[in-house]
Amino acid sequence: SAVISQKPSRDICQRGTSLTIQCQVDSQVTMMFWYRQQPGQSLTLIATANQGSEATYESGFVIDKFPISRPNLTFSTLTVSNMSPEDSSIYLCSVEGLWSGELFFGEGSRLTVL
Amino acid sequence: KNEVEQSPQNLTAQEGEFITINCSYSVGISALHWLQQHPGGGIVSLFMLSSGKKKHGRLIATINIQEKHSSLHITASHPRDSAVYICAVGPNTGNQFYFGTGTSLTVIP
Protein backbone atom coordinates (compact mmCIF):
# COMPACT_ATOMS: atom_id res chain seq x y z
CA SER A 1 0.00 0.00 0.00
CA ALA A 2 0.95 3.65 -0.28
CA VAL A 3 0.16 6.53 2.02
CA ILE A 4 0.00 9.96 0.42
CA SER A 5 0.20 13.14 2.43
CA GLN A 6 -1.25 16.10 0.54
CA LYS A 7 -1.34 19.71 1.60
CA PRO A 8 -2.91 22.13 1.93
CA SER A 9 -6.20 20.41 2.59
CA ARG A 10 -8.08 23.57 1.72
CA ASP A 11 -7.39 27.19 0.91
CA ILE A 12 -9.19 30.33 -0.06
CA CYS A 13 -7.27 32.44 -2.54
CA GLN A 14 -7.62 35.73 -4.32
CA ARG A 15 -7.99 36.00 -8.08
CA GLY A 16 -4.65 36.36 -9.85
CA THR A 17 -2.56 34.64 -7.20
CA SER A 18 -0.90 31.21 -7.38
CA LEU A 19 -1.03 28.25 -5.03
CA THR A 20 1.26 25.25 -4.80
CA ILE A 21 -0.07 21.88 -3.67
CA GLN A 22 2.34 19.27 -2.35
CA CYS A 23 2.11 15.49 -2.30
CA GLN A 24 4.46 13.22 -0.39
CA VAL A 25 4.30 9.44 -0.86
CA ASP A 26 5.70 7.03 1.70
CA SER A 27 7.22 4.83 -1.00
CA GLN A 28 8.96 5.33 -4.32
CA VAL A 29 6.65 5.46 -7.32
CA THR A 30 7.37 5.97 -10.99
CA MET A 31 4.35 8.04 -11.93
CA MET A 32 2.22 10.44 -9.93
CA PHE A 33 -1.10 11.66 -11.30
CA TRP A 34 -2.69 15.04 -10.68
CA TYR A 35 -6.47 15.32 -10.98
CA ARG A 36 -9.00 18.09 -10.79
CA GLN A 37 -12.53 17.48 -9.58
CA GLN A 38 -14.90 20.33 -10.25
CA PRO A 39 -18.13 20.50 -8.23
CA GLY A 40 -20.43 17.64 -9.13
CA GLN A 41 -18.03 16.28 -11.73
CA SER A 42 -15.81 13.25 -12.05
CA LEU A 43 -12.06 13.35 -11.77
CA THR A 44 -10.22 14.86 -14.72
CA LEU A 45 -6.56 14.07 -15.24
CA ILE A 46 -4.44 17.22 -15.44
CA ALA A 47 -1.03 15.65 -15.94
CA THR A 48 1.22 12.73 -15.15
CA ALA A 49 4.37 13.63 -13.24
CA ASN A 50 7.45 11.57 -14.05
CA GLN A 51 10.67 11.81 -12.11
CA GLY A 52 13.51 13.18 -14.19
CA SER A 53 11.41 14.35 -17.12
CA GLU A 54 8.76 16.89 -18.01
CA ALA A 55 5.22 16.17 -16.90
CA THR A 56 2.81 14.93 -19.53
CA TYR A 57 -0.24 17.18 -19.76
CA GLU A 58 -3.70 16.17 -20.93
CA SER A 59 -5.65 18.06 -23.54
CA GLY A 60 -6.89 21.35 -22.14
CA PHE A 61 -4.16 21.72 -19.53
CA VAL A 62 -0.90 23.58 -20.09
CA ILE A 63 2.35 23.87 -18.21
CA ASP A 64 2.13 27.64 -17.83
CA LYS A 65 -1.13 27.31 -15.92
CA PHE A 66 -0.34 24.12 -13.99
CA PRO A 67 3.43 23.79 -13.58
CA ILE A 68 4.47 20.55 -11.96
CA SER A 69 7.67 19.55 -10.22
CA ARG A 70 8.85 16.00 -9.53
CA PRO A 71 12.26 16.26 -7.88
CA ASN A 72 12.35 12.64 -6.66
CA LEU A 73 10.38 9.41 -6.60
CA THR A 74 8.35 10.29 -3.48
CA PHE A 75 7.38 13.94 -3.95
CA SER A 76 5.57 16.19 -6.41
CA THR A 77 4.02 19.63 -6.48
CA LEU A 78 1.29 21.14 -8.62
CA THR A 79 0.97 24.91 -8.89
CA VAL A 80 -2.27 26.53 -9.96
CA SER A 81 -1.14 29.82 -11.49
CA ASN A 82 -2.93 33.13 -11.99
CA MET A 83 -6.07 31.70 -10.43
CA SER A 84 -9.62 32.61 -11.39
CA PRO A 85 -12.90 31.50 -9.81
CA GLU A 86 -13.14 28.80 -12.48
CA ASP A 87 -10.15 27.11 -10.84
CA SER A 88 -12.19 26.46 -7.70
CA SER A 89 -12.05 22.67 -7.41
CA ILE A 90 -10.70 19.79 -5.45
CA TYR A 91 -7.21 18.86 -6.62
CA LEU A 92 -5.98 15.34 -5.92
CA CYS A 93 -2.73 13.51 -6.40
CA SER A 94 -2.72 9.78 -6.97
CA VAL A 95 -0.38 6.88 -7.49
CA GLU A 96 -0.85 3.33 -8.68
CA GLY A 97 0.49 0.54 -6.52
CA LEU A 98 3.61 -0.84 -8.15
CA TRP A 99 2.68 -4.49 -7.70
CA SER A 100 -0.99 -4.39 -6.82
CA GLY A 101 -2.28 -1.88 -9.37
CA GLU A 102 -4.45 -0.45 -6.61
CA LEU A 103 -5.14 3.29 -6.71
CA PHE A 104 -4.07 5.51 -3.84
CA PHE A 105 -5.08 9.13 -3.41
CA GLY A 106 -4.05 12.06 -1.31
CA GLU A 107 -6.63 13.66 0.95
CA GLY A 108 -7.40 16.30 -1.67
CA SER A 109 -6.90 20.05 -1.69
CA ARG A 110 -10.15 22.01 -1.80
CA LEU A 111 -9.40 25.32 -3.48
CA THR A 112 -11.76 28.30 -3.49
CA VAL A 113 -10.86 31.32 -5.59
CA LEU A 114 -12.64 34.58 -4.84
CA LYS B 1 -19.91 9.77 -24.51
CA ASN B 2 -18.28 8.95 -21.16
CA GLU B 3 -16.18 5.85 -20.97
CA VAL B 4 -17.67 5.07 -17.54
CA GLU B 5 -21.32 5.50 -16.63
CA GLN B 6 -22.68 5.10 -13.11
CA SER B 7 -26.20 4.82 -11.78
CA PRO B 8 -27.92 6.11 -9.84
CA GLN B 9 -26.37 9.55 -9.44
CA ASN B 10 -27.97 10.03 -6.05
CA LEU B 11 -29.32 7.48 -3.62
CA THR B 12 -31.03 7.85 -0.25
CA ALA B 13 -31.59 4.78 1.88
CA GLN B 14 -32.83 3.93 5.32
CA GLU B 15 -30.36 2.39 7.71
CA GLY B 16 -30.25 -1.36 7.24
CA GLU B 17 -31.28 -1.38 3.58
CA PHE B 18 -29.43 -3.30 0.89
CA ILE B 19 -27.85 -0.92 -1.62
CA THR B 20 -26.68 -1.48 -5.19
CA ILE B 21 -24.67 0.93 -7.31
CA ASN B 22 -24.06 0.11 -10.96
CA CYS B 23 -21.19 0.89 -13.31
CA SER B 24 -20.96 0.32 -17.06
CA TYR B 25 -17.89 0.98 -19.16
CA SER B 26 -17.12 1.05 -22.85
CA VAL B 27 -13.36 0.48 -23.04
CA GLY B 28 -11.27 -2.63 -22.71
CA ILE B 29 -9.92 -2.72 -19.19
CA SER B 30 -7.17 -4.28 -17.16
CA ALA B 31 -9.04 -3.67 -13.92
CA LEU B 32 -12.04 -1.88 -12.44
CA HIS B 33 -11.83 0.08 -9.20
CA TRP B 34 -14.49 1.07 -6.71
CA LEU B 35 -13.56 4.15 -4.70
CA GLN B 36 -15.16 5.96 -1.78
CA GLN B 37 -14.93 9.73 -1.45
CA HIS B 38 -15.70 11.35 1.88
CA PRO B 39 -17.15 14.87 2.23
CA GLY B 40 -13.69 16.32 2.87
CA GLY B 41 -12.58 15.16 -0.56
CA GLY B 42 -10.24 12.30 0.29
CA ILE B 43 -10.63 9.11 -1.75
CA VAL B 44 -9.98 5.57 -0.58
CA SER B 45 -9.86 2.42 -2.63
CA LEU B 46 -12.51 -0.16 -1.79
CA PHE B 47 -11.96 -2.80 -4.45
CA MET B 48 -9.90 -3.59 -7.50
CA LEU B 49 -11.49 -6.21 -9.74
CA SER B 50 -10.55 -7.90 -12.96
CA SER B 51 -13.06 -10.75 -12.74
CA GLY B 52 -15.67 -12.36 -10.52
CA LYS B 53 -16.54 -11.07 -7.09
CA LYS B 54 -14.85 -9.65 -4.00
CA LYS B 55 -16.16 -9.10 -0.48
CA HIS B 56 -14.89 -6.91 2.35
CA GLY B 57 -17.13 -6.89 5.36
CA ARG B 58 -20.53 -5.52 4.30
CA LEU B 59 -19.29 -4.52 0.85
CA ILE B 60 -19.46 -6.77 -2.19
CA ALA B 61 -18.24 -5.94 -5.68
CA THR B 62 -18.95 -7.96 -8.80
CA ILE B 63 -17.86 -7.58 -12.38
CA ASN B 64 -19.06 -9.10 -15.65
CA ILE B 65 -16.32 -8.62 -18.21
CA GLN B 66 -18.43 -9.77 -21.16
CA GLU B 67 -21.19 -7.29 -20.37
CA LYS B 68 -18.74 -4.56 -19.27
CA HIS B 69 -20.66 -4.04 -16.08
CA SER B 70 -19.90 -3.95 -12.38
CA SER B 71 -21.98 -3.56 -9.26
CA LEU B 72 -21.15 -2.47 -5.74
CA HIS B 73 -23.45 -3.79 -3.03
CA ILE B 74 -23.68 -2.63 0.56
CA THR B 75 -25.51 -4.92 2.96
CA ALA B 76 -27.08 -3.63 6.17
CA SER B 77 -26.29 -0.03 5.27
CA HIS B 78 -25.28 2.38 8.01
CA PRO B 79 -25.13 6.20 8.17
CA ARG B 80 -21.33 6.01 8.15
CA ASP B 81 -21.61 4.53 4.63
CA SER B 82 -22.80 7.96 3.44
CA ALA B 83 -20.26 9.07 0.85
CA VAL B 84 -19.73 9.35 -2.87
CA TYR B 85 -18.87 6.05 -4.54
CA ILE B 86 -16.84 6.28 -7.73
CA CYS B 87 -16.23 3.62 -10.36
CA ALA B 88 -12.95 3.85 -12.25
CA VAL B 89 -11.39 1.70 -14.95
CA GLY B 90 -7.82 1.19 -15.90
CA PRO B 91 -7.67 0.58 -19.64
CA ASN B 92 -5.59 -2.22 -21.06
CA THR B 93 -3.58 0.28 -23.09
CA GLY B 94 -2.05 3.52 -21.86
CA ASN B 95 -1.81 4.94 -18.37
CA GLN B 96 -4.92 7.03 -18.01
CA PHE B 97 -7.78 5.93 -15.78
CA TYR B 98 -11.39 6.79 -16.56
CA PHE B 99 -13.74 7.79 -13.78
CA GLY B 100 -17.49 7.77 -13.39
CA THR B 101 -19.20 10.86 -12.03
CA GLY B 102 -19.95 9.09 -8.78
CA THR B 103 -23.01 8.02 -6.83
CA SER B 104 -23.84 10.14 -3.81
CA LEU B 105 -25.21 7.87 -1.10
CA THR B 106 -27.01 9.13 1.99
CA VAL B 107 -28.06 6.61 4.62
CA ILE B 108 -30.65 7.93 7.04
CA PRO B 109 -30.75 6.59 10.61
Give the model's confidence band at B1: pLDDT under 50 very low, under 70 low, under 90 confident, else very high.
low
Q: What is the average pLDDT score of chain B?
A: 92
The answer, yes or no, to whether residue B94 has pLDDT greater than 70, is no
Instruction: Note the pLDDT of residue B93.
Output: 66
Residue B39 confidence class, pLDDT cut points 50, 70, 90: confident
Cβ pairs bridging A and B (under 8 Å):
57
For residue range B59-80, what is the model confidence (pLDDT) as tens digits? 999 999 999 999 999 999 999 9
What tens digit of pLDDT does each residue of A5-40 get? 999 999 999 999 999 999 999 998 888 999 999 988
CB atoms within 10 A of CB A50: 16
Q: What is the pLDDT of residues A34-78, one digit of tens each?
A: 999 998 888 999 999 988 888 999 999 999 999 999 999 999 999
Residues of chain B contacting residue A103, judged by C-beta atoms under 8 Å apart: 33, 35, 45, 48, 88, 97
Among chain B, residues having any CB pair with chain A shorter than 8 Å are 2, 4, 30-31, 33, 35, 40-45, 48, 86, 88, 90, 95-97, 99-102
Residues of A in contact with B101 (CB under 8 A): 40-42
What is the spatial order of strands in the sheet that A68-72 belongs to? A4-7, A19-25, A75-80, A68-72
Cβ density class A51-67: b for 16+ within 10 Å, e for less: beeebebeeebeeebbb
- Residue B88: the pLDDT is 95
Q: Which of B42, B90, B99 sits opposite A42 (nearest CB)?
A: B99
Q: Give the pLDDT confidence score for residue B30 in this predicted structure.
A: 86
Q: Where are the alpha helices (DSSP H) in chain A?
A: none
Instruction: Give the whole-angstrom CA distance, residue A83 versus residue A12.
Output: 11
pLDDT for A67 = 96
Say if CB B42 and CB A105 are below 8 A apart: yes
> Given this model, what pLDDT does residue B38 score?
87
Burial (CB count <10 Å: 0-12, 13-18, 19+), residue B94: exposed
Nearest of A79, A82, A110 to residue A11 by alpha carbon: A110
User: B45: part of which helix (H) or strand (E)?
Assistant: strand B43-49
